Amino acid sequence: MTDATFDGASRRAFLALAAATPALINAAPAAAKSGAWKDAVIVNALGGLDNPNLKDEGGESNVSRGVRKPRVLDARALADARRSGVTAINCTLGYVAGGGDPYEVTIASIAQYDRMVRSYPADVTKVLTAGDILKAKRDRKVGLIYGFQNAAMVADKLERVDVFADLGVRVIQLTYNPANHIGDGSMAPENRGLTAFGRQVVERLNDNRIMVDLSHSGEQTCLEAARVSRQPISINHTGCRALVDLPRNKTDAELKLVAEKGGFVGVYFMPFLNKDGKVRAADIVAHIEHALNVCGEDHVGIGTDGTITQIDDMDAYRADLAKEVADRKARGIGATGEGPETYPFAIDMRGPTQFYDLADRLKARGHSTGRIEKILGGNFVRYAKDVWGA
């Protein structure tokens, strides 16, 4: 991508990145510099290609928990993505919570991402099949997987699932934290399963070969979806409740059934991995290892639920985070374990070296190169082949 393709803000970010590049390179772990994992396909099963240091027109951060605010492709975010080695990212599009008509918000969001893909054809590509992920690796592009974190935009119209499939949506999460007309989210106290309409939605998602994601669902909704789905389902970003008993983490029963049905489980880098809310790299490794023990090595990956570009000004970020957590609580969409000091990333494993750092840590724990490459992205590609096709 040439400098002529940047808008003004992106050009300034790129120049700032260029000035900082020597220090950033020197800070990279040995694996990143030696290229030990350069051939690995890395898939972030839930993340973003955003610069969280940017502000929108209202002064809010470009990224908030659970909601990505797409804009023109930022130069620093793209450079960090390239350094990270990431091959593809499941990006959250459309309505998650808040105001506006969910369907209209979602259609506008898809159109905005499509414009971004058309504007930067040398840098990003839209992923429709598992083969597109592998092609993105060969072409040195970042693959964008269109995904939803709520199915509210379906409303009571099953045919909308067909529309979303035709527009290139490849992942639909059934619920966010509260209950909706499809099933109960992780924070719904009743912990009911799918509604009658929810079972129809799962069937329609299967018909369209869209991934059924149960990341924010309640336990019964997840178990029932895994049982009724004709295709394997996924939990693209979660932790293990056996290690930390919080609603956003999944029970061993959920993890095991998803794996037995041929599905995929992505471990996030979120505060729910540690009982004090301050996640560290060791916590991420521990949850991955527990998931491996429950699911087997063919069903576990990563879904960080975060960006690659790291926060620069942590003092300012803490103030923004406190406001965001309070707002989420007021709107009834927060989760137990969120707080003003619970960062949605590992403080000791963030930025563009995070995937290489994780691979090194797993290697040091005795995991084989083959297993680590499955966790980094191979397992997601296998699962994508089963659902989307090659």
- 238 compared with 341, residue with greater pLDDT: 238
Averaged pLDDT for residues 295-316: 96
> Is it the case that residue 163 has pLDDT exceeding 60?
yes
- At residue 45, the 3 state secondary structure works out as strand
Q: Flag the least confident range among 122-126, 235-239, 313-317, 361-365.
A: 313-317
Domain ranges in the chain?
Answer: 39-388
Measured CA to CA in angstroms, residue 265 lies from 187, 261, 269, 376, 379 at distances of 20, 12, 13, 12, 9
If phi > 0 it is left, if psi is from -120 to 50 it is alpha, else beta; for residue 214 that is alpha
What CATH number does domain 39-388 carry, 3.20.20.140, 2.60.120.280, 1.10.10.10, 2.40.37.10?
A: 3.20.20.140
CA atoms within 13 A on the CB side of 64: 22
What integer pLDDT is reported at residue 55 of this predicted model?
76
> Is it the case that residue 67 has pLDDT exceeding 50?
no
What integer pLDDT is reported at residue 69 of this predicted model?
52
